[in-house]
Amino acid sequence: MLKGFRDFVVRGNVVDLAVGVVMGAAFGTVVSALVKDLITPIIAALVKKPDFSGFSFEVNGAKFLYGDFANAVISFLLIAASIYFFVVVPVNSLMSRLKKEQPVVPDKKKCPECKSEVALDARRCAFCTSTLSA
């Protein structure tokens, strides 16, 4: 039973997933700092009110902090935009430059008689039974 567990933990997918989770958490911290320390002050300079946490209303003694919710939504949108524009777009651009075009190798040829597609190594056409040249 422990051997199976050890094989499961040491298997490549689990280790890769663990590394991805740790790297994702570290990257999340970096992106949160980017939004909090750079992007939010830019918005504050433009709008003059970057913090909505003070906005709320009460109904029968229950306090609804819709300002905190607005802050969370704005933070999420800023983080998503930051990840898209600073990570996804550059990585996609880099991958498209690194991707080499694979030449298309034909796996079929046309029969000279009936113009049907047949396998390259076929000696007779499956449709009209004419003899095909090599």
Mind listing the pLDDT tens digit for each residue in 36-58? 777 767 777 777 766 667 778 89
**pLDDT on residue 33:** 79
Do 93 and 111 reside in the same domain of the chain? Answer: no
Can you give the pTM of this predicted structure? 0.47
- Domain extent, residue 122, equals 105-134
Pick the residue with more confidence: 114 or 42?
114
**pLDDT on residue 27:** 80
Residues in contact with 55: Cβ distance below 8 Å, sequence separation at least 6, in sequence order: 65, 66, 67, 70
Residues in contact with 54: Cβ distance below 8 Å, sequence separation at least 6, in sequence order: 67
Asked whether residue 67 carries a pLDDT value surpassing 80, the answer given is: no
Domain count, the chain: 2
Do 51 and 23 reside in the same domain of the chain? Answer: yes
Mean pLDDT of the region 126-134: 83
Structure tokens at 79: 């983080």
Q: What is the mean pLDDT of the chain?
A: 80
User: Among 5-14, 51-60, 122-131, which stretch is predicted with the lowest mean pLDDT?
Assistant: 5-14
Do 46 and 94 reside in the same domain of the chain? Answer: yes
Residues in contact with 70: Cβ distance below 8 Å, sequence separation at least 6, in sequence order: 52, 55
Do 93 and 115 reside in the same domain of the chain? Answer: no
Mean pLDDT of the region 89-108: 81
- Assign 86 a pLDDT band (cuts: 50, 70, 90): confident
Do 80 and 116 reside in the same domain of the chain? Answer: no
Do 47 and 85 reside in the same domain of the chain? Answer: yes
Q: Phi and psi (nearest 5°) for 128?
A: -115, 0
